[in-house]
Amino acid sequence: MTAAQSIRHGISGLRFLGQAPSWLALAIVVTIPLLFGAVHPIVQGAYVALILLGLGGWLLYTLPSLSGEGLSWRRLAVPIILMLYAALQALPLPLGLIALLSPARAERVAMVNDLAGAGLTLAPLGDNGIIGLQTAIFILALILLYLALTVLLRRDQRFPALLLTAIAAVGLAEAFYGLLQVMNPGIGMLWLGIANPEAHGTIIYKNQYAALLNICWPLAVAGALLHLAPTGRAAAGPRGRPSLAQRLARSLTRLQPQVPILLFAAGVMILAVLFSLSRGGILAMLTVSVLLNLLLPLSRRTRLVAIVGIVAFIGVYGSMLGLDGIVARFGTIEDYTGEFRLQIYQASLPLLFDHWLTGIGVDAYKLLSGVYLKGFPDNVLIDRAHNEYLETAIEFGLPLAALFVGWLIAGMWRSGRRLTAAPAADRPAARKARIVGIAAFSALFGFLVHGLVDFGWRLPANAVYAVTLLALISWAVAELGQNGQRREDTTAAVKG
């Protein structure tokens, strides 16, 4: 091998190493939903190791150059506090300190000492300590994933489109699998059987499945819009206005193959959300649809065509599969299921009041629900509060839960204002960033709304996808900020 060949091979190797973090991030996003959404601790641990060692190691290697990426560590203060507190709940503390911080927890430990003669002098603050430590490590992995995605989005101009396409492909595969389960319940879920003809895909709980698809389909819509060229000036007809034939011809020339493919994928995902029979998922899907229709920079004609197209798609294919089950499902909101969830919320309040300061620990709700929740059948275990905000307050305590929810509200408000109040995009990159940012913002808003009635946050795959939305929003806001700065610099130069 000659010296020139060696140099070329070395350059190729450096390029591959430079692209390796992008492919690793894409591989994590694409594969994490496939095996029950990584709900099993072993599978979740494998992905955490990939993030910590792969993406985390790459971040440490590139740490000197990260200062120029515009990353704001202050925005990560609340997740870091949440991570540290989850770890603190897993550490053994003196019983005297526990009695001061959480008298109800100290009373349970004292009962164990009396009944079992355990003689414990140290105990964790949380009732499920080992899970708290695992959660702390998982939150650390999510923070590193957010940082890695944010850096990759800003450094590689192709990465946003690749990420959108990858997520759309995952959503389409999950949606097709779910619709097949509706048509033939005997297909099952991987190697598990399912009793009801509902769309689950590879996710065990249909509510978490619907939450995942509600993240994926808005990004598929954004991907389609990115391949739609901006409208130009058309040749005028006899009266100075383009004729119908001219407008149709212009639209067809703008239509790239990716547009109908991605819109079809979005339609299939929406259809799968409907046939998941998750009422919370369907309401969240409608919320996302309204936001997209209001916020995306589209003409009225484009909005109307999109709405008519989606409604027609759902009507035609939904009638083939049968929409009566969906209508009947919503007819039970005021019946047993809706009343049942309200009872869970009310019965969970004593659990919150007894541990309002420190919480009971991550994933400890199912351990104490049998003691605290009254008026439910003895053979029914209520393992989730079916409200992420209520359960977070019970697990972490009111002060930290209020800090976390306030952080979410402030971040969404700030991002929404910057995405919608940004100046008109005079660059293709700014237009692209605004479309992607609004789609990610709408999807994340729907995800947070869905958390009011379900527990979609608890699926590791959904947490990874929510963090991906945060990274996309952060990238879009930064791009629009650069566009606004360029406009100001140009205006100042002209005036000068």
Dist CA 452 CA 67 (whole Å):
37
pLDDT of residue 32: 96
Task: Please state the domain extents for the chain.
Answer: 159-229+252-495
Of 494, 488, 493, 475, give the one whose Cα is nearest residue 429. Answer: 475
- Per-residue pLDDT reduced to its tens digit, 401-450: 999 999 999 999 999 999 988 555 557 778 889 999 999 999 999 999 99
pLDDT of residue 480: 86
Mean pLDDT of the region 243-247: 50
Side-chain-side CA neighbours of 64 within 13 Å: the count stands at 1
pLDDT band at 233 (very low <50, low <70, confident <90, very high): very low
Of 354, 357, 358, 344, give the one whose Cα is nearest residue 390. Answer: 344
Average pLDDT taken over every residue of the chain: 82
Mean pLDDT of the region 321-346: 66
**Chain centroid offset of residue 464 CA:** 6
- Per-residue pLDDT reduced to its tens digit, 154-206: 888 889 999 999 999 999 999 999 999 988 888 888 888 877 778 999 999 99
What are φ and ψ of residue 191, in 5° steps? -100, 10
Is 356 strand, coil or helix?
coil
Least confident of 51-60, 245-254, 315-324, 415-424: 245-254
DSSP 271-306: HHHHHTT-HHHHHHHHHHHHHHHHHS---HHHHHHH
pLDDT band at 382 (very low <50, low <70, confident <90, very high): confident
